[in-house]
Amino acid sequence: MIFTRTEGQGSEPLVLVHGWGFDHTVFAPWLPALTDRWRVTRVDLPGHGRSPASGAAGGLTEWAAAIRRAIPEDALWAGWSLGGLPLLQAVIDGARPRALLLLAASPCFCQRPDWPHGVPAADLDAMVHGLDAAPEATVHRFRTLLGRGGVADRRALKPWRRRPSASPGALRAGLALLRDTDLRAGLARVDCPACWLAGDGDPLIPRAAAAWGARAMPRGEIAYHPRAGHLPFLTHPEWATDALQALSRQSRS
């Protein structure tokens, strides 16, 4: 069971999926720019927010299938960070959204011998161990890391400094997905219009990861902002909204 919340007066459906350790309310500051044009469905990942903790036990395929059952498919899908992975997996598995926006996301979050554009595996493993000892402190350190993008990022994260938004099991499962998932080989099957949003201020995802993902997709592109960090929909909402509007136009052409 996946919790969703739908609002807005627009005729076009839009789905928003959040990242690790957050929940659907992280998108609340962005909503005023969206709800006149779109009917917005915000999703809580398995074990996050109001989605049951029991749903976090599966792997990425199970997360993708559960989210797919809970959202409109004939819609523009947008995934932030970890939230991009189940949406990508759903499309690789046959879903056909109108278009796909990937905000500060990557097809492969963890470094590999042939993939330097990620987080070292040791860092993700250290976070897993930290969750066992002090889950709230570990989430707090992660959010502090996100704030390194700049003053705007730190301001956007202030309401979330010590606000747990997921069960311990869901946090571990999400980190395991970030560490183990590599969707590069499947991107050629993502044939809807797709855009990767990337910024030089992102402390986790280098622009090269998004650029690679865009090149690997038949209809992929990258939108780049020199001052955006890991929270572009909060720190640069007009830019993120422009990207949604451009994808919407492409999906109708």
Active site residues: 81, 202, 230
Give the whole-angstrom CA distance, residue 126 versus residue 212: 27
Give the whole-angstrom CA distance, residue 160 versus residue 143: 8
Give the whole-angstrom CA distance, residue 171 versus residue 62: 16
Residues 26, 146 contacting (CB under 8 angstroms): no
Q: State the CB neighbour count (10 A cutoff) for residue 202.
A: 25
Give the whole-angstrom CA distance, residue 221 versus residue 211: 8
Residues 62, 85 contacting (CB under 8 angstroms): no
Burial class from Cβ neighbours inside 10 Å (0-12, 13-18, 19+) for residue 120 reads exposed
Residues 196, 220 contacting (CB under 8 angstroms): yes
Secondary structure letter of residue 185 according to DSSP: G
